[in-house]
Amino acid sequence: MQGLSVFEKGTGYLEACLSRYTGSNAYGMLYILALVYILVFGNEKEKQIFLPAGVFLVLTVYNPAAPVILNRFFDVNSEYYRLFWITPVVILVPYLSVKLVALSDHRPVTAALLSAILIFSGSFIYASGIPFAENIYKMPAEMLEVSRLIHADAEVEYPKVFLEYEYNMQMRQYDPKLLLTVDREAYMNAVMYGLTEEQLNDETHPEYRLIAALVRNEEIYINDFTDALEETRTEYIVIDKASPMVSYLKDAGLSEVGSTENRYIMKYTLKEPYEFELVDYSVVY
Amino acid sequence: MSTNVETDMINVYDPFTGAWQDHFEMRYFFATYSVQDAVVCFLTGISPLILTKSVMAVVIIILTNLVYGLIAGELVRTGITGTKAAAPGDEAPALTQAEQKEGSKREALLILAVMTVIFFINVTFNTIYTSSVFLMTRTYEGKAIVGNLAVMAVFYMFIRMNEAAPSAVCTLTRPWLSVFLICFGASTISSTANMLMPVELTVLFLPLIIRTGRYRWLPKYVLCVIPGLALALSFVLYVKGYFVFYTYPR
């Protein structure tokens, strides 16, 4: 889970993780209540199916010591919550709800009560409206337009581009012919935790200077910025029209070669053109 | 996946930047779901995004709901209609044809009701971390398949084997082979399965083995756990620098 560390939290990690996992939903609590019901009123088979697994889950996955122990062997900081997927909440709660209604003498009342409990226990995933896809690729239409404009201007088959965070995560799914300046992990870390002085001065990662200037709006000398563009072979920068860095880019010598509804596509002319080619493995194999 | 289709290579280029890699990234080396999709794209000419976000998403939703239906059927017969609640050895009561037909109809409606509530929970168990959200909004990812389809499939096998366990002879056809294929298959879809499947197998089957005394199932349980652990171990060894697979002959 982003922002949670087993090393920092220790045995408190599980509670923090679980709290974020369930959010404002009450299904975890309903699952526990369902287990209690099975314990008291369930038949033999139901107890065999749900109770031993429930007990084992408490001893293992939901044991506060478990992430601490596991983290010694594997890095579970960002993935421990996936173990919660083993808990059959999605199976037990619906099954028991239907059972209670089916076996009730007052089915309409029981059904209405359980429906109300379920409705108030969760939060509808489309509460803010169903996001209909803008195109068949289910990608932002503006991103497709950005891709088209860059290729229309580029003189090479694989131009390199610096994109804002959201498009950086998605662009290559649609258009693998666009090379990206910044790796996903580096971008995420820079956005979440910022960049240190050491990283900014790191000659092996000039892209950090680009992120610092364009994403975190930090002061980077224009010469250092253009040097970073040269070293990373970045020709295009896509920037929000509302960004305060637009004039900075123009001062750095970039020119606007296209625009969409919300974004400018700025071009930097590299001192030496960069032509990316796919490796020809036929000479090897 | 798009990178694999564009370059006509498997995992040689970084999918996030497009840069050539001199060695394979072990985190994704065994996660072949995207590779499988890339092969289908290559053979059919379908765009990668259309295949993964439209075609495969529908396939996964259908498969997951089929498994939900199987589980719902078993549970309904166990706890509501009572056809499976009888202790082993008991004779089932004789029913007329009309009663059987009525019973089947009721069972089908109950299964449908359970699946409806399952769907409702899947659209309301809404934080960015739950398997429900992955199923409904990120179906194209390998971990959504593991967290919903594979986990539920193993749970279904557990229910069937729990029923068959007390009998002297297990009436299921090679259930452990099915469990092994699910676990091995899940590990080759996403690296999430490397920890998820061994833990799920332990949580479900160890108590079953201990409770029923079927200790000869232990080697089979271990065999099912091995794929996930082996792949997890290989990643740990790679991170610690014990080995690397280069993308070119050295």
A81 and A147 inside one domain: no
Chain A contact present for B162, CB below 8 A: yes
Distance from CA of B121 to the nearest CA of A (A): 7
Question: In this model, does residue B24 exceed pLDDT 50?
Answer: yes
Q: What is the pLDDT of residue B86?
A: 47
Query: CA of B175: how far to CAs of A209, B215, B220, in Å?
Result: 56, 15, 10
A100 and A19 inside one domain: yes
A146 and A116 inside one domain: no
Q: Which parts of chain A have pLDDT scores under 70? A: 284-285
Structural domain for A21, as ranges = 6-121
Q: Are strands A236-240 and A160-162 parallel, antiparallel or unpaired?
A: parallel
In a domain, A285, yes or no: no
Distance from CA of A26 to the nearest CA of B (A): 9
Mean pLDDT of B86-112: 74
Average pLDDT across chain B, whole number? 89
Contact A91 B18 (CB under 8 A): no
Rounded (5°) CA angle B127-A170-A259: 125
Q: What is the pLDDT of residue A264?
A: 95
- How many structural domains comprise chain A? 2
Dihedral angle, C-alpha B83, B88, B90, B93, nearest 10 °: 10
Contact A74 B232 (CB under 8 A): yes
Question: In this model, does residue B87 exceed pLDDT 50?
Answer: no
Domain stops at, among A70, A92, A121? A121
Query: Which of A21, A126, A180 shows the shortest C-beta gap to B129?
Result: A21
ipTM score: 0.90
Q: What is the pLDDT of residue B83?
A: 64
A171 and A217 inside one domain: yes
In a domain, A274, yes or no: no
In a domain, A126, yes or no: no
A59 and A145 inside one domain: no
Query: Which of A22, A44, A180 shows the shortest C-beta gap to B16?
Result: A180
Chain A environment of B71 (Cβ under 8 Å):
91
Q: What is the pLDDT of residues A213-227, one digit of tens each?
A: 888 888 889 999 999
In a domain, A272, yes or no: no
Contact A45 B54 (CB under 8 A): no
Contact between A212 and A237 under an 8 Å Cβ cutoff? The reply is: no
A168 and A87 inside one domain: no
In a domain, A216, yes or no: yes
A165 and A82 inside one domain: no
Mean pLDDT of B111-139: 94
A112 and A159 inside one domain: no
A104 and A209 inside one domain: no
Instruction: List CB contacts of B71: < 8 A, sequence separation 6 or more.
Output: A91, B152, B155, B156, B159
A111 and A214 inside one domain: no
A116 and A147 inside one domain: no
Assign B206 a pLDDT band (cuts: 50, 70, 90): very high
Give which of A85, A135, A174 to mutate to test B binding, by max B Cβ within 10 Å: A85
By CA distance, what is A79's nearest residue in B?
B192
Reading the block at residue A258, the tokens are 């296209």
Reduce the secondary structure of chain A to three states and give it as a string: CCCCCHHHHHHHHHHHHHHHHHCCCCHHHHHHHHHHHHHHHCCHHHHHHHHHHHHHHHHCCCCCHHHHHHCCCCCCCCCHHHHHHHCCHHHHHHHHHHHHHHCCCCHHHHHHHHHHHHHHHCCCCCCCCCCCCCCCCCCCHHHHHHHHHHHHHCCCCCCEEECCHHHHHHHHHHCCCCEECCCHHHHHHHHHHCCCHHHHCCCCCCHHHHHHHHCCCCCCCHHHHHHHHHHHCCCEEEEECCCCCHHHHHHCCCEEEEECCCEEEEECCCCCCCCCCCCCHHHCC
In a domain, A109, yes or no: yes
In a domain, A281, yes or no: no
Assign B170 a pLDDT band (cuts: 50, 70, 90): low
Q: What is the pTM of this model?
A: 0.89
Q: What is the pLDDT of residue B167?
A: 65
Question: In this model, does residue B193 exceed pLDDT 80?
Answer: yes
Chain B environment of A98 (Cβ under 8 Å):
76, 80, 110, 113-114, 117
Contact B152 A46 (CB under 8 A): no
Question: In this model, does residue B100 exceed pLDDT 60?
Answer: yes
Q: What is the pLDDT of residue A233?
A: 94
Give which of B37, B55, B125 to mutate to test A binding, by max A Cβ within 10 Å: B125
Mean pLDDT of B219-243: 92
Chain B contact present for A26, CB below 8 A: no
Contact between B117 and B153 under an 8 Å Cβ cutoff? The reply is: no
In a domain, A277, yes or no: no
A149 and A98 inside one domain: no
